[in-house]
Chains A and B, each alone.
Chain A
Amino acid sequence: NAGVMQNPRHLVRRRGQEARLRCSPMKGHSHVYWYRQLPEEGLKFMVYLQKENIIDESGMPKERFSAEFPKEGPSILRIQQVVRGDSAAYFCASSPTDEQFFGPGTRLTVL
């Protein structure tokens, strides 16, 4: 059983560009979460999704950030018009219930 997969592992964008981060949950897991980790800090919750539904987006910045988990395909975290402060590691986790299993993360660098 493959673990949570994220791609790309590293992403470099210039200010003003768009970043798309993808996450494929573990087989059989219907819950997907996105977290952000700034350097030398803990993980901060961003959004929780189930298939075709956003369940909790209380940690998402109000502008430029969006997430989806379509019926088919991976979950996508989209950051529009990136700024340097968006540079961070973005982790996806999936769960069957309360145990969350994390992917390897996408490290976003904004130049």
Chain B
Amino acid sequence: QQQVKQSPQSLIVQKGGISIINCAYENTAFDYFPWYQQFPGKGPALLIAIRPDVSEKKEGRFTISFNKSAKQFSLHIMDSQPGDSATYFCAASFMAGTASKLTFGTGTRLQVTL
């Protein structure tokens, strides 16, 4: 009930391409879904987040798509750049707008090639 499943485990995309990472959750009580970017040796950095009252949120080259009925959400990175090469984690928590622990996916290692 608490799991967040993330795929793929790793992803190689050419520069300029679209990177797509998918997550699925089980617990319908989750109502806050952030994505984090982590570079080697660094802490996770909040990238973008969505609440289930919207189906899509876009910030620059990063877009979250959210499908409440399927209990799935995805991160799209448009015009992928070598600097985007990092590990990406999806997460979920309860009670949007209040403090609550995050349940993380297992991560996707993205490599953007020239």
Residues of A within 8 A of B (CB): 4, 6, 31, 33, 35, 41-45, 48, 50, 55-56, 58-59, 91, 93, 95, 97-105
CB distance B99 to A44 under 8 Å?
no
- Whose C-beta in chain B lies nearest to the C-beta of A50? B99
Q: Does B93 contact A (CB under 8 A)?
A: yes
**A103 to B43 alpha-carbon distance, docked (Å):** 6
Contact A102 B100 (CB under 8 A): no
User: Count of chain B residues with Cβ under 8 Å from any Cβ of A?
Assistant: 25
Query: Taking the complex as formed, is B66 at the interface, i.e. its CB lies under 8 A from any CB of chain A?
Result: no
A86 shortest CB reach to chain B, Å: 19
- What residue in chain B is nearest A100 (Cβ atoms)? B102
What B residues does A35 contact at CB under 8 A?
Answer: 102, 104
The secondary structure that dominates the B interface is loop
Q: Give B residues with C-beta under 8 Å from A.
A: 6, 32, 34, 36, 42-46, 49, 89, 93, 95-107
User: Contact check: which of B32, B46, B101, B105 meets A33 at CB < 8 Å?
Assistant: B101
B59 to chain A, nearest CB (A): 13
Query: Which chain A residue lies CB-closest to B105?
Result: A42
Q: Is B106 a contact partner of A98 (Cβ separation < 8 A)?
A: no
Besides A42-B105, A45-B101, A98-B32, 17 other A-B contacts (C-beta < 8 A): A4-B43, A41-B107, A43-B104, A48-B100, A48-B101, A91-B44, A93-B102, A97-B99, A98-B95, A98-B96, A98-B98, A99-B34, A100-B46, A102-B36, A102-B46, A103-B43, A105-B42
B46 near A99 (CB under 8 angstroms)? yes
Residues of B within 8 A of A44 (CB): 104
Cross-interface CB contact of B43 among A58, A99, A102, cutoff 8 Å: A102
B106:A42 contact, CB within 8 angstroms = yes
| Distance between B75 CB and nearest chain A CB, rounded to angstroms | 15
6 shortest interchain CB distances as A-B pairs: A102-B43, A31-B99, A42-B104, A45-B101, A42-B106, A43-B104
